[in-house]
């Protein structure tokens, strides 16, 4: 998948989640509004109307009692009739309020309410259903009692109009009076039930409000965490192959052309990785061709160099004591340049062998202190020429190890030669050699020009020379440190460098004490 599509789908998922969260918040707020509307219009209004209904019932009872007191019967009958009709009308209005189902102001209210209830029906209890059933039962009982009371009132009024007071009193005492009391009791009970229902709805509104607040926080935190997770995953998907590619570039910068990038992604970075692998392959082939040509060239140079050496020796022997100072100087120049050229060819041949992994180590038991001393004696003319003081620190007078002695001499020779070359006259060089099973530690520290920090990763490459080495006109091929690093690596060891420009450089070499330890590995991290 292309990188732009990965980013697109990641943002699309975030947008969808954000939209779903907003929709759910919208439903919660709508339900809170509708519940509040029901509470105000149904519960509160019904409680007020029931209180009014009870008051009308008390007025009706009072008018009914007045009917039996001395006075103008016609006025009392008319007053009782008005109160009776008022009760009936108010009761019908109250029933419509109690049985009202549509509290929606728009079609959207109805849709969102039904959708919300459908989503949360498994989370709702059946208290509303029980409460509504109780209300319906009470309303039915109140209706039945009112029918009986109304019938008794009509019969009493008819008896009064016929001047049949005995019949009217009988109806009052036997039918109407007790039924009015029962009606009063049922209306009060209905008022309490609706009040309890109002409390339940208030609690539900509180719960919805609390849940909405929690949902807002949970949504914000959840979206934040999910956004961080998505960003991390996407960034990891993008940066991981970039890191692998960066590591490959660094390896190639250090002339390691055996670059292979695993698990290439199917996007632009993956295409870049494939192209980079092709580039690495071509550079590897070019490097092999260069090494082969260089090896062939150096081999070809060995023969004329041998002839120059033999001719120089024959010339020196033929002249013997007759050689004059000028001739001696010319012969020394020829011999010195021959040795320099011979050493250069040897180094090139070594590096060619090292490039293809053909370092032949001749392990033997040797005293590394003695080997180091021999090399210091060999290099003493160079050291004395610059009047450099060498400080040697040993952990023991004799340190025996199993390694390639000649190769160890090369390590010492190259590192000491570099230290002398890049040190100012009359300075000091500190050399340390110690053992700590299962390793030996060799270090050399000078107080010379140092190496720029950004160039340290490249100093072990072939033909590489630090940029500040040209300022002091130090001659060299740039092969010494490469050879040292390859010899140390072949012994299963490690070489590190610490340097500060203008203050000096320190090389630290760590090598296992014998061949078995080198082959087992892991000792360097012990």
Of 355, 385, 408, which closes a domain?
Answer: 355
Q: What pLDDT is stored for residue 131 in this prediction?
A: 59
The boundaries of the domain holding residue 518 are 364-525
Answer whether residue 123 shows pLDDT above 50: no
Ranked by mean pLDDT, which of 122-131, 226-235, 398-407 comes out on top? 398-407
| Token duo for residue 297 | 């060239």
In angstroms, the CA 134 to CA 191 distance is: 12
Same domain membership, residue 186 and residue 159: yes
Tell me what the pLDDT averaged over the chain comes to.
Answer: 77
Please identify, among 221, 236, 251, the residue that sits at the C-terminal boundary of a domain: 236
pLDDT at 176: 87
379 with 280, same domain: the answer is: no
Q: Within the chain, what is the greatest distance between any pair of CA atoms?
A: 182
Assess if residue 22 is contained within a domain: yes
Structure token digits, residue 520: 């087992």
Q: Of 355, 372, 399, which residue is a domain's last?
A: 355
Distance between CA atoms of 238 and 228, rounded to whole angstroms?
15
Same domain, yes or no: 350 and 435: no
Residues 404 and 454 in one domain: yes
Closest CA to 45 of 185, 183, 198: 198
What pLDDT score does 122 carry? 45
Determine, yes or no, domain membership for 508.
yes
Q: Are residues 369 and 441 in the same domain?
A: yes
Q: Are residues 69 and 171 in the same domain?
A: yes
Within-domain flag for 133: yes
Report how far residue 86's alpha carbon sits from residue 95's, in angstroms, rounded to the nearest whole number: 14
Q: For residue 473, is the peptide bond before it cis, meaning its omega torsion is within 30 degrees of 0?
A: no
Q: Are 215 and 24 in contact (CB under 8 A)?
A: yes
Asked, for residue 315, whether it belongs to a domain, the answer is yes
In a domain, 258, yes or no: no
Q: Note the pLDDT tens digit of each residue in 262-297.
A: 766 666 677 777 777 777 777 777 766 666 666 666
Q: What residue has token string 């189902």?
A: 101
- At 448, which CATH number? 3.30.565.10
pLDDT of residue 100: 63
The closest of 201, 217, 196 to 124, measured between CA atoms, is 201
Q: Give the phi and the psi of residue 436 in degrees, each rounded to 5.
A: -150, 105
Are residue 381 and residue 351 in the same domain, yes or no?
no
* Residue 256 is assigned to a structural domain of this protein: no
Q: How many distinct structural domains can be found in the chain?
A: 3
Mind listing the pLDDT tens digit for each residue in 320-352?
Answer: 767 788 877 777 778 767 766 776 676 666 666
pLDDT at residue 416 tops 80: yes
511 SS3 class: strand
CATH number of residue 298's parent domain = 1.10.287
* Same domain, yes or no: 411 and 440: yes
Residues 390 and 470 in one domain: yes
CB neighbour class for 448 (10 Å; exposed up to 12, middle 13-18, buried from 19): buried
Residues 169-183 have a mean pLDDT of 87
Q: Do 347 and 392 belong together in one domain? A: no
């Amino acid at each position: 998948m292309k990188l732009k599509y990965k980013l697109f789908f990641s943002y699309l998922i975030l947008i969808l989640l954000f939209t779903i969260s907003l929709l759910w918040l919208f439903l919660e707020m709508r339900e809170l509004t509708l519940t509040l509307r029901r509470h105000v219009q149904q519960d509160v209004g019904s409680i007020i109307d029931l209180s009014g209904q009870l008051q009308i019932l008390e007025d009706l009872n009072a008018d009914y009692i007045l009917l039996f007191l001395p006075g103008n019967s016609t006025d009392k009958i008319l007053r009782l009739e008005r109160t009776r009709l008022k009760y009936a009308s108010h009761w019908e209005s109250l029933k419509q309020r109690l049985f009202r189902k549509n509290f929606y102001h728009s079609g959207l209210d109805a849709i969102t309410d039904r959708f919300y209830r459908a989503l949360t029906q498994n989370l709702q209890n059946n208290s509303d259903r029980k409460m509504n059933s109780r209300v319906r039962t009470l309303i039915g009982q109140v209706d039945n009692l009112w029918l009986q009371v109304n019938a008794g009132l009509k019969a009493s009024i008819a008896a009064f109009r016929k001047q049949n007071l005995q019949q009217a009193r009988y109806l009052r005492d036997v039918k109407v009076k007790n039924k009015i009391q029962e009606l009063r009791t049922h209306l009060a009970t209905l008022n309490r039930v609706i009040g309890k229902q109002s409390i339940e709805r208030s609690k539900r509104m509180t719960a919805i409000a609390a849940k909405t607040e929690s949902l807002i926080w949970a949504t914000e935190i959840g979206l934040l965490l999910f956004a961080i997770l998505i960003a991390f995953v996407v960034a990891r998907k993008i940066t991981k192959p970039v890191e692998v590619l960066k590591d490959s570039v660094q390896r190639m910068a250090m002339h390691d052309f055996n670059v292979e990038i695993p698990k290439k992604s199917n996007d632009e970075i993956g295409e870049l990785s494939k192209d980079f692998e092709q580039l690495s392959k071509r550079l590897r082939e070019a490097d092999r061709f260069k090494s082969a040509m260089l090896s062939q060239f150096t081999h070809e140079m060995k023969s004329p160099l041998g002839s120059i050496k033999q001719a120089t020796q024959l010339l020196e022997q033929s002249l013997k004591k007759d050689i004059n100072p000028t001739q001696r100087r010319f012969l020394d120049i020829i011999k010195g340049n021959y040795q320099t050229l011979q050493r250069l060819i040897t180094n090139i041949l070594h590096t060619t062998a090292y490039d293809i992994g053909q370092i032949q180590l001749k392990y033997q038991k040797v005293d590394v202190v003695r080997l180091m001393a021999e090399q210091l004696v060999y290099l003493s003319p160079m050291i004395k020429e610059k009047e450099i003081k060498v400080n040697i620190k040993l952990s023991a007078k004799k340190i025996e190890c199993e390694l390639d002695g000649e190769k160890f001499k090369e390590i010492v020779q190259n590192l000491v030669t570099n230290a002398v070359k890049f040190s100012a006259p009359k300075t000091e060089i500190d050399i340390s050699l110690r053992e700590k099973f299962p390793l030996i530690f060799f270090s050399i520290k000078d107080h010379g020009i140092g190496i720029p920090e950004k160039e340290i990763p490249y100093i072990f490459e072939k033909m590489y020379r630090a940029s500040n080495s040209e300022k002091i006109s130090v001659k060299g091929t740039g092969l010494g440190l490469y050879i040292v690093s390859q010899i140390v690596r072949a012994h299963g060891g490690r070489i590190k460098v610490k340097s500060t420009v203008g203050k000096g450089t320190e090389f630290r070499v760590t090598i296992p004490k014998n061949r078995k330890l080198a082959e087992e590995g892991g000792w360097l991290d012990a």
